[in-house]
């Protein structure tokens, strides 16, 4: 859930399960993702509930550990903690929290949470000492009770090489950003996830890889063309952010990225999408009509992704049936 009213979540969760979705994701944009995840967990009967994503560095690992523990208990073991680093500007200027060495900090953040969870579940002494975080006080009055499903799955959003290696090394899953071309996924994302997994003696089969890239579809060419323009605008927004420069640089689109950055500084947001060419769009997105989109998704995402987010506009009962059929086909072998 990215927009809308928090009070709408119970109905949205029920509708998602009716359509056949396997998980319900909440994001940290206009709402606190843990509040919305709690509502989703309370009303979901079978779907997994995932924060996708909650900002790690906007809060202490201890704070996140408490919220994840309660959500795992509330959901009966169906909660997945999806974290992201965000970029320096938001962490420092919007949340007024420290920033530095985000990949190393994220690795330690996850290790600290797992140490905390272990102390709660097994009764072991809390004593985590790291470069960024230190935890050594946990009186019984503040110690949660053990829970039935203490193995909380942790995912992180990753785009750049070091964060991808952290995902491969210490996470249960990687949440690939939609701002990633299929060339970048094959040549940068997968090798770095593998490198991280190698450090921990794991394989890529141990990691749930979610998403990557955009899916543009519609019932006719008019709808598809409108979606193409919307995605071009989205690509231009991310391409203007210097943290995502490696994706553009990988294709030799450095000049475009620099122009977009300058336009963002000059507040020319509405003009930026025009710099994204059709060639660029085709690198970022699958473009197909309703009849072909499921096959295209399976063909493109099948080799690396074990899950993805997908939907179409639903304005009628007929649209619901079309989406329900697409979801069932995506879930089939």
Predicted confidence at residue 3, as pLDDT, reads 54
Helix (H), strand (E) at residue 328: helix 317-331
Q: Can you tell me the mean pLDDT for 191-206?
A: 96
| Residue written as token pair 């995605």 | 231
Q: What is the largest CA-CA distance in the chain?
A: 62
For the segment 115-129, the average pLDDT, to the nearest whole number, is 98
Q: What is the pLDDT of residues 21-46, one digit of tens each?
A: 999 999 999 999 999 999 999 999 99
Checking if the pLDDT of 333 tops 70, the result is yes
Residue 80 makes CB contacts below 8 A (sequence gap 6+) with 23, 48, 49, 50, 51, 152, 153, 154, 155, 172, 173
Average pLDDT over residues 192-209: 96
- Residue 97: how many CB atoms within 10 A of its CB? 16
* pLDDT beyond 80 at 4: no
- Reported confidence tier of residue 297, pLDDT bands at 50, 70, 90: very high
Mean predicted confidence (pLDDT) in 266-275: 96
Say which CATH topology domain 6-215+292-328 has.
TIM Barrel (3.20.20)
Across the chain, the runs of DSSP E, i.e. the strands, are 23-26, 48-51, 54-55, 79-84, 128-129, 134-135, 153-158, 173-176, 208-211, 214-216, 285-287
The per-residue pLDDT of the chain, averaged, comes to 95
């200027």: which residue's tokens? 93
Structural tokens at position 1:
């859930």
What's the confidence (pLDDT) of residue 213? 86
Cα–Cα distance for residue pair 135/314, rounded to 1 Å = 47
pTM here? 0.92
pLDDT at 288: 96
Model confidence pLDDT, tens digit, residues 155-174? 999 999 999 999 999 999 99
Three-class SS of residue 254?
A: helix
Residue 1: pLDDT band (50, 70, 90) is: very low
CB 283 within 8 A of CB 183: yes
Distance CA 327, CA 324 (A): 5
Pairing label, strands 128-129, 134-135: antiparallel
**Contact indicator for 70, 36 with CB cutoff of 8 Å:** no
Q: 264 pLDDT band (50/70/90 cuts)?
A: very high
What is the arithmetic mean of pLDDT over 100-115? 98
CA distance 297 to 300: 5
Mean pLDDT of 114-137: 98
CA distances from 41 to 38, 44, 121, 176 (A): 5, 5, 21, 23
Q: What stretch of H or E contains 218?
A: none
Q: Does the pLDDT value for residue 222 go beyond 60?
A: yes
């Amino acid at each position: 859930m990215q927009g809308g009213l928090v009070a709408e979540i119970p109905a949205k969760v029920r509708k998602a399960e009716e359509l056949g979705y396997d998980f319900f994701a909440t994001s940290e944009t206009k709402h606190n993702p843990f509040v919305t995840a709690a509502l989703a967990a309370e009303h979901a009967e079978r779907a997994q509930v995932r924060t996708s994503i909650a900002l790690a560095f906007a809060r202490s690992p201890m704070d996140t550990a408490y919220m994840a523990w309660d959500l795992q208990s509330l959901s009966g073991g169906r909660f997945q903690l999806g974290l992201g680093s965000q970029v320096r500007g938001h962490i420092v200027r919007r949340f007024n929290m420290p920033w530095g060495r985000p990949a190393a900090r994220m690795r330690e953040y996850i290790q600290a949470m797992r140490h905390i969870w272990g102390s709660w579940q097994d009764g072991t002494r809390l004593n985590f000492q790291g470069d960024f975080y230190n935890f050594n006080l946990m009186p019984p009055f503040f110690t949660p009770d053990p829970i039935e499903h203490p193995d909380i799955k942790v995912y992180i959003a990753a785009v750049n090489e070091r964060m991808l290696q952290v995902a491969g090394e210490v996470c249960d899953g990687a949440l690939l950003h939609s701002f990633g071309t299929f060339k970048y996924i094959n040549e940068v994302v997968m090798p770095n996830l593998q490198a991280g997994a190698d450090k921990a003696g794991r394989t890529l089969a141990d990691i749930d890889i979610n998403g990557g890239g955009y899916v543009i579809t519609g019932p006719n060419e008019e709808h598809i063309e409108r979606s193409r323009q919307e995605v071009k605008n989205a690509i231009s927004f991310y391409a203007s952010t210097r943290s995502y420069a490696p994706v553009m640089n990988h294709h030799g689109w450095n000049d475009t990225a620099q122009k977009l950055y300058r336009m963002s500084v000059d507040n020319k947001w509405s003009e930026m999408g025009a710099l994204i060419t059709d060639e660029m769009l085709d690198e970022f997105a699958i473009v197909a009509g309703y009849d072909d989109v499921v096959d295209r998704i399976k063909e493109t995402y099948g080799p690396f992704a074990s899950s993805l987010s997908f939907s179409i506009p639903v304005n009628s009962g007929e649209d619901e049936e079309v989406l329900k059929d697409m979801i069932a086909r995506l879930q089939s072998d």
